[in-house]
Amino acid sequence: MTGGADSSWLPRHWLFFGRFPPPRDGQTLLTQQLLEMLGGEFTFLCADSSARSPDGRVLPPGRLRLRRIPEMASYLWRIRRLAALYPFPILYAIASGTWLGHLRDCAAFAGSIPRERPVVVWTHNSLLALAASPLWRRSLRWLGHHIRILVVPGKRLAEPLRELLPEERIAIIPNSIAQEMLCTDEEISRKLEHLQSLEELRVLFVGHMLPEKGGWELLEAAALLRRAGVALRVSYAGGWVSAEDHQRFLRRVAALGLGSCVTHYGSIAHPEALRQLYLTHHIVALPTRHPTEAQPASILEALNAACAIVSTDHATIPEMVSPGVHGFLVCPSPEELAAAFARYWTTPGLWRSHAYAARRHFCASFAPEQVRRRWRTLLQHVEREYAQSLEGRRYRQLPLSL
């Protein structure tokens, strides 16, 4: 294989390292979407870092367990082998905002990824907690010397990193949603007409049932509204970290007397089922304070489905939701959540106005084709630079499989 600006593989082939479903969580789904979004124009050789036990079971992310060490060592060996075999640029779609994941990233760049290889790093997680620590700031700065471009989904996530990386090496590209989650204009029109006539307020929570996501505060807010006479229905879609948390949630629902108006669907694997949930609810609530939150997929999906948003001034959410236009940003307390929902109940036409504006905002800023175009421009720019650096070098032809 001949290097240089006319090399046939350069505009086509990349190495792609990331977490893929299963498990179905925000990072794996967005990674799969990115791969599918770009797959028509680029060819990717992939290494999957989702942790699995020897018998093939998926292990929960973010848990420090001894049995994960051999699996992670195997993953690092796989990406080292791929990088050694194929002289392609790298899309590293797994950069983590946790200290454990950051150690894995540093190990990958120290021992598995060639220093001269251009690497585009995409992070689904916020790196702000790492950047705020003197210890991890040093390792982030070291990592910055090994990457060509860092892609983050919002300005808020980029600002603290500008002290660690030059301006030209940070790219802001928002996330989008999977094609099967997209709603048509006709569906949105039917939703606006149907839900406007309902005599109850339907609120949806989509996300892992972690305390930091705010699902428990939403439950307490529902109890306040029911006592105030608001006809309310709350739906939850998301998996549990433990069976104990699930049972505790059910007990709290019973204690608050909310059994008739709270439904928990669990983790929804079928995209169409989740899409229909968005289309049958007025509001999506995500009172998150999760430390590595970046750009929640549930809010993008809610904007697409013309849901008003009640969330928090956290991560990139203020870049997605303008208060008073697409919804409200509140403190993650039951009282403030209840007050925001009550405004929709007591103000005729407010929900329809916010829902319609949310849909327009998605189409203007987060539609898949717009996001694809920005990724394509970035990757082609990196390819051209790499091609110029390879003038005169030669590579042997290799099969595109392992």
DSSP string, 95-156: --SSHHHHHHHHHHHHHTS-TTS-EEEE-SS--HHHHTSHHHHHHHHHHHTT-SEEEESSHH
Q: Predicted confidence band at 34 (pLDDT cuts at 50, 70, 90)?
A: very high
Q: Does the pLDDT at position 395 exceed 90?
A: no
Q: State the average pLDDT for the chain.
A: 89
Q: Domain 179-364, what fold?
A: Rossmann fold (3.40.50)
Domains 13-176+367-389 and 179-364 share a fold: yes
Domain regions of the chain by residue span = 13-176+367-389, 179-364
User: pLDDT by residue (tens digit) across 177-197?
Assistant: 999 999 999 999 999 999 999
User: pLDDT by residue (tens digit) across 353-365?
Assistant: 999 999 999 999 9
Give the model's pLDDT for residue 398: 43
Q: Predicted confidence band at 401 (pLDDT cuts at 50, 70, 90)?
A: very low
What's CA 72's distance to the chain center, in Å?
22
Q: Which one-letter amino acid corresponds to residue 171?
A: A
User: pLDDT by residue (tens digit) across 48-87?
Assistant: 887 665 555 555 554 545 566 777 888 899 999 999 999 9
Give the model's pLDDT for residue 57: 54
The class level of CATH for 13-176+367-389 reads alpha beta
For tokens 């939150």, name the residue. Answer: 293
**Lowest-confidence segment of 266-275, 314-323, 393-402 by average pLDDT:** 393-402
Give the model's pLDDT for residue 400: 43
Give the model's pLDDT for residue 2: 37
Region 123-142: mean pLDDT is 88
Cross-strand pairs, 17:
47, 92
Give the model's pLDDT for residue 115: 92
Region 356-382: mean pLDDT is 96
